[in-house]
Amino acid sequence: MDSVALWCTGALIAGGIYWFVCVMGPAEQKGKRATDISGGSISADKVQDNYDSYWSFFRRPKEIETKEKVPDFVDTFYNLVTDIYEWGWGQSFHFSPSLPGRSDADATRLHEEMAVDLIRASPGDRILDVGCGIGGPMRAIAAHSRARVVGITINEYQVDRARAHNKKVGLDALCEVVCGNFLQMPFPDASFDGAYSIEATCHAPRLDDVYAEVLRVLKPGALYVSYEWVTTDKYRGDDLNHVDIIQGIERGDALPGLRSHADIAATARRVGFEVLEERDLAAPPAGPWWKRLKMGRIAYWRNHMLIKISAALGVAPKGTVDVHDMLFKTADYLTRGGDTGIFSPMHMILCRKPKDSPPADSSA
Ligand SMILES: C=C(CC[C@@H](C)[C@H]1CC[C@H]2C3=CC[C@H]4[C@H](C)[C@@H](O)CC[C@]4(C)[C@H]3CC[C@]12C)C(C)C
Ligand SMILES: C[S@@+](CC[C@H](N)C(=O)[O-])C[C@H]1O[C@@H](n2cnc3c(N)ncnc32)[C@H](O)[C@@H]1O
C-alpha cells in the first residue's frame, strides 16, 4: 500500500471514529442518539402520515378547527418531535435567558428553580407541573425544593420517557407522572399546595379553561406561576413581517393561536385568581433566550445529515426528515421573534388562589 492510500485509510478510520464517538454519541443529552429517534407512540410506518395530518390542521381555515381537536393535534406533534427535542436540546423543553459565563444547562436549571421559588414550595408539599414534557423541570424542581411533584402531559410517550428518567436518577419517589389533558385534570379539587407551568399552556385553545382547572385543583391560598408564550407590545398586526413570524412560530410549535401579553393577567383574574406579579423575563437586562438557537446552526446541519442517513438506511422512520426540516425552519422564526422583540416565551405570571375561594361547582 503506498503512502497516499495509507493516509486516506487512516483519515477514513479517524473520521469514522469521530463520527461515532462525537457525533452519534453524546448529543445534547447522554442516552439519546440519532439512531434512537422514533415517532413516539406512533408506529414507524405511520410517521409520514401523521406529519401530513399535522399540517392539515393549518391548511384548513381556523373556523372549522374546533377546540376539541386541539389536544389530539398537540399529542401528534409531541409524538413527532419528542425524541428530536431530547436528542438536540435536552430533557427540558423550554427556553431560558442566556447567562454570561454560565452554561445552557445552568441557565435552564436556574430558570426552573426560579419557578418553584416563586411559589414558595417547601419539602413535602405536593406541587403540580402543568404540561410536564419528559420531566426535565420536574426533576430539577424536586431536587431543589424536596417537594413532591406530580406532572401531567397529554402525550403517553413523554410519560414513559419521564418515568424512565425519574427512575434513572433516583427521583421516582418524589416525582410522579400522569397521562391526561390539562383542560380536564384527573385530580380532586383542592389537592395541590402549588402549581407551575413552563411553556405549556400556550397549547390550550382557551387559556381560561386551563387556568380554571389549575384554580380548581389548588388549595385555597396556594400559588401558581406560569411562563407564557406571548406576543409583546412591539407586535403590530398590520406589519406583514410580524404576522409572518408569528404564524411561522404557531405552525412549527403546534399552537392554536399565540395570545397577546395583555390577555394573560386578565384571564387569570377572570377565572378567579389574584395576580401577585407579572413580568416578561425576556425583557432587558435579561440575556437573549434565542442565542442558543442561533449558535446551534452548524449542529442543526449535522443533525439533518445524520437523520437523512438514518432515514435512508431505514433506521429512522420515514417522515423524520420532514419533521426535522420543520423544526429547522421553526428555529429561524423563533430567532426572528427574539431579534425583533415581538415575541416572548417567558412572560411570567404569579397568581394566588384566594383564601376564601368557594369550592368549584360540581353541578356545572
Ligand atoms: C415550548 C415549546 C418548545 C420550545 C423549544 C424546546 C423547541 C422549539 C424549537 C425546537 C428546536 C428547533 C430546532 C431543532 C434542530 C433543527 C434539531 O437539529 C435539534 C433540535 C432543535 C434545536 C429543536 C429543539 C427544541 C426547540 C428549541 C413549544 C413547542 C410550545
Ligand atoms: C413545550 S412542552 C414543555 C414541557 C415542560 N414544561 C418543559 O419545560 O420541559 C409542552 C408540554 O405541554 C403538554 N401539553 C400540551 N397540551 C396539553 C394538554 N391539553 N394536556 C396536557 N398536557 C399538554 C405537552 O404534552 C408537553 O409536555
42-68 pLDDT, tens digit each = 999 999 999 998 988 877 666 556 778
pLDDT at 206 over 50: yes
pLDDT at res. 25: 47
Q: Which of 60-69, 202-211, 242-251, 342-351 has the lowest mean pLDDT?
A: 60-69
pLDDT at 183 over 80: yes
Summary mean pLDDT of the chain: 91
Cα(129) to centroid(ligand 2), Å = 9
Residue 306 beta carbon below 6 angstroms from any ligand 1 atom: no
Cα(174) to centroid(ligand 1), Å = 28
Nearest CA to ligand 2 atom 14: 131
Per-residue pLDDT of 20-44, as tens digits, reads 545 554 455 556 788 889 999 999 9
pTM: 0.92
pLDDT at 170 over 50: yes
pLDDT at res. 21: 46
pLDDT at res. 362: 46
**For residue 364, what is its C-alpha cell?**
356545572
Res. 1 pLDDT band, cuts 50 70 90: low
Res. 364 pLDDT band, cuts 50 70 90: very low
Cα(359) to centroid(ligand 1), Å = 39
pLDDT at res. 83: 96
CA distance linking residue 308 with residue 48, whole number of Å: 14
CA distance linking residue 351 with residue 75, whole number of Å: 28
Q: What is the mean pLDDT of residues 290-310?
A: 90
Cα(43) to centroid(ligand 2), Å = 21
- Whether ipTM tops 0.95, in short, is yes
Res. 205 pLDDT band, cuts 50 70 90: very high
Q: What is the mean pLDDT of residues 71-85?
A: 94
Cα(9) to centroid(ligand 2), Å = 48
pLDDT at 19 over 70: no
pLDDT at 239 over 50: yes
pLDDT: is 16 or 286 the higher one?
286
**For residue 55, what is its C-alpha cell?**
399540517
Residue 133 beta carbon below 6 angstroms from any ligand 2 atom: yes
Per-residue pLDDT of 102-160, as tens digits, reads 999 999 999 999 999 999 999 999 999 999 999 999 999 999 999 999 999 999 999 99
Nearest CA to ligand 2 atom 17: 154
Alpha-carbon separation of residue 148 from 11, 24, 30, 41, 152 (angstroms): 52, 35, 26, 27, 13
Cα(44) to centroid(ligand 2), Å = 23
pLDDT at res. 35: 82
Nearest CA to ligand 2 atom 12: 131
Per-residue pLDDT of 333-355, as tens digits, reads 999 999 999 999 999 999 999 99
Give percent of the chain with pLDDT exceeding 70: 91
Res. 97 pLDDT band, cuts 50 70 90: very high
Residue 93 beta carbon below 6 angstroms from any ligand 2 atom: yes
Nearest listed ligand to the Cα of residue 180: 2
CA distance linking residue 66 with residue 64, whole number of Å: 6
- Alpha carbon 295 to chain centroid, angstroms: 19
Residue 319 beta carbon below 6 angstroms from any ligand 1 atom: no
Please name the residue that has the C-alpha cell 408506529. 43
Q: What is the mean pLDDT of residues 244-266?
A: 96
